Amino acid sequence: MSLSRSRLLLIAGLVGLSAWSCAQDRWPNMPGYKEMQAGNASSKDWKLSPLRGSWVSPTKYQFEDLTGKKEFDVKTGKTTAVPAGPVAPNPVPQRQPERGRQWEMVKSADGKKTAIYREGNVYLEVDGKEIAITTLGNVDRKIKFGTGSWVYGEELNQTDAMGFSPDGRWLWYYGFDDNEVPLYYLTLGQRSQYTTLDIEAFPKPGTGNPKVDLYMYDTQTNQSKKIKVRDGDYSHAIGHYVYGISWLTDSSELLFHRMDRRQKEREICAYDPSKDSIRQVDREENAAGWVEFGPVEDLQGTRTRQNREYKSSFLYLSEDDGFLNIWRMDVKAGKRTQITKHKADVVSFLGVVGDGLFYSIADGKTAYHQQIYRSKLDGSQPKRLTDPNYMSSGSISPDGKYVALTYQTDSESPFLKVVDNTGKVVGSPESKSFEAPAGDHRSMRWFSFPSLDGTTTIWGKVHLPSTYQSGQKLPVLFSVYGGPTGWGASGMRFERPSSMSEAGFAIVEVFQRGGSGRGRDFRQAIYRKLGIVEIDDFAAAATALKSQPWADPTKVGIFGTSYGGYSSAMCLLRYPDLFQAASASSAVTDWRLYDSTYTERYMDLLENNVAGYDAGSCMTYAKDLKGWLMIYFGTADNNVQPSHAYQLSDALNKARKYHEIQIGVDQGHTGLGNARMMEFFTERLVLNPNK
């Protein structure tokens, strides 16, 4: 580099530093800051009660509204105040394993035996004496027993790695061989004089996966047996994943789920430890997409401190017919029977009372107006108990004769009705659920629009500031996630508006394809196409802004964290004429870089879908960047690792595309600070939108 060139760059750098030094603490001096601060303060007086309650007798329902605790008597039809009693202390939350990890200690039901994981091996403690159940575990050699591999905790919700049978005789435990899994090295302690390494066997698409085995230990004989969880090589057999492990309450069999690597097949199996035999109880397959990994038998299971137990017959949710419906599983008979047969998802299970089965499904005025049904235990005579014009939630009386309903919409705050088990209204408890301070006219409303291909109606909602005037065009910020089975099933509720809108923005959320609550076809439209279909739906929402009276479609920003960071970056890169700015926090930037279990479930194996992986990579579109991109990542993020941000920044640099980077030093899977983000969007969309 020549001297003159060096001096020129030095001068330019000093000018840049001078300008920046004068611009510190910019957000408090920007338009919208004071209004947003006032909105935050006002939010403290913006009161909303969900009217939660419960039945204290077959005819008396107690609930709490803004005025205190009340009781409604079905017999008299009167609502009376309930005297305040002693306030129960908040329960101490149970300490959970760290993200992606499992419990390191588990006790038998009688408390007499304790299984302990330590340094790759399992130990049993009885009467103060400890014996080694396993001795071959060696963390350095990537062999371990009584714990799990990262993806089991992170992606399969497996927080148990060992567990006693209810009678305390048997102990199951995991065995893992991570030798085919490459290591990822994460540098920690960046604020210290010396750094350290966090080393994790982290499987990614195209690499080896952890090899899993199950073992059963007999406390009477002090012997372990290896359970044959698969036939053939683990790489391709069903049994590549083994998870969702639970006991039958009589201790006769251990239930476990197993899947193939592509996660298109799932079986529930039962292992008899006395006979050392396995039998298949149930099987689901979906060649066109993925099978939900479950565990799905979550309607009547009993959760102890760590281990899950089931009777030999239980209810569970399955989408085997294309929608989430309730089925009955008979473990001993090895068969299941479909109970509900709705062409809509069952989104919550309220319970079995008397001869009735109570549940809610997404089938009201929209898919987001959830309705409560009652049917016979065999699914016959289904009866909707609620008004389809409202979003409904409910509580069943102890004898099943009455249902206390909470109704609401996006524009009508919660109110109560009590119906009998035929749906006839028998009372309207008096309640007060909403109170806003004078002059605070913030609002939240839902709206709909067609997908870009015209095949699907997509819904979204917008938060408007209290200062909004009819006909006013506001800059828009999309708050997004976008990932599989993400936002969507919570229902069209009356919500506290976003304080962020008080800065003068319309805050928009979108319930795109891939989200939950609208059936398997809606959820699995994204299969093998992450970064395409859901991003197209966000683009459809941005296109629909042109017809919304509150939106300025020339000033559109988008932000999110994790999958939301990915969605934000992809929207800006793939649709540069619809989005002008994006804040992408802890974002996946290429699915080759994320863990195999999550990625392959939705994208298939890398060798089967190279074009799909390319199309879903942010780097593919780096050359197309037109707007303003803020990239944030934490240097200690062991989930979406820093390499995602590094590779996107490198691709943008090579394409000579300006972008901004904010780093969370020694931070994990986190998001850009709100103040810095608002400063960024105000600068890029309001103050200097064309610079």
DSSP string, 500-564: GGGGT-EEEEEE-TT-SSS-HHHHGGGTT-TTTHHHHHHHHHHHHGGG-TTEEEEEEEEEEETHH
| Cα pseudo-dihedral 348, 352, 355, 360, rounded to 10 | -10
CA angle 221-223-228, nearest 5°? 130
Mean pLDDT of the chain: 90
Residue 577 · residue 598 · CB < 8 Å: no
- Pinpoint the alpha helices (H) of 22-68: 33-43
Give the tens place of pLDDT for each residue, 91-114.
666 677 888 788 899 999 999 999
pLDDT at 87: 65
User: How does pLDDT run across 482-500, given as a tens digit for each residue?
Assistant: 989 776 557 899 988 888 9
pLDDT tens digit string along 383-416?
999 999 999 999 999 999 999 999 999 999 999 9
Q: How many residues does the chain have?
A: 691
Q: Which of 42, 47, 28 is nearest to 502 (CA)?
A: 42
- Give the range among 97-106, 216-225, 499-508, 624-633 with minimum mean pLDDT: 97-106
What secondary structure letter does DSSP report for 439?
T
Which tens digit of pLDDT belongs to each residue from 426-440?
999 999 999 988 777
CATH class of 439-687: alpha beta
- What is residue 602's three-state secondary structure? helix
Give the Cα-Cα-Cα angle 263, 264, 270 (nearest 5 degrees): 75
Neighbouring residues of 454: CB distance < 8 A, sequence distance ≥ 6: none
Phi, psi of 17 (to 5 degrees): -65, -40
Q: Is 146 helix (H, G, I), strand (E, B) or coil?
A: coil
The pLDDT value given to residue 313: 85
Flag whether pLDDT at 1 surpasses 60: no
The C-alpha atoms of residue 623 and residue 341 are separated, in whole angstroms, by 49
Q: What is the DSSP letter of 354?
A: T
Average pLDDT over residues 622-645: 97
Dist. CA 444–CA 465, nearest whole Å: 9
Specify whether the CB–CB gap between 447 and 500 falls below 8 A: no
Residue 237 is encoded by which pair of tokens? 């057999």
